[in-house]
Amino acid sequence: MLRSRMKNVVLDLPPEWSADADALPLYVRCEDLRLEQVFINLIGNALDTIASCDRPRVIVELDMRAKTVDIIVRDNGPGIPADALPRLFEPFFTTKEMGHGLGLAISSAIARDYGGAQL
């Protein structure tokens, strides 16, 4: 679904993963399909927002700590209007012309279900 749009996505993996993908296994307590849904929603939104940029870029970072993993998705799009920020995770709220407003609400609910949070 996103594969054809991923050319502008940079994975910023921790240094421990530099050459050997098996060097440090990563375990996240979350059903794989639900975690995949979070990634699809976050990366998909970032890709939508950079569509009109001259030099589009999405960066996905993993910040691993002793008992947590932070998943950070950043882009160089125009940003979110300040008045939209308080409603960003509400169901059916969207800033897109062609959006249904469920992606971030679903992602937020999945994160909460597994002890996580959105920042």
CATH for 97: 3.30.565.10
- Taking the C-alpha atoms of residue 3 and residue 52, their distance in angstroms, rounded to an integer, is 19
* Residues of the domain holding 71: 3-113
Q: How far is CA 25 from the centre of its chain?
A: 20
The count of domains in the chain is: 1
pTM more than 0.85: no
The torsion of the CA quartet 63, 25, 27, 118, rounded to 10 degrees, works out to 10
- Taking the C-alpha atoms of residue 106 and residue 118, their distance in angstroms, rounded to an integer, is 11
As a whole number, the mean pLDDT across the chain is: 85
Q: What is the layout of strands, in order, in the sheet containing 58-64? A: 9-12, 58-64, 69-75
- Looking at this protein, which amino acid is placed at residue 39? F
> Is residue 118 included in any domain, yes or no?
no
> Is residue 86 included in any domain, yes or no?
yes
pLDDT at 103 over 80: yes
pLDDT at 43 over 80: yes
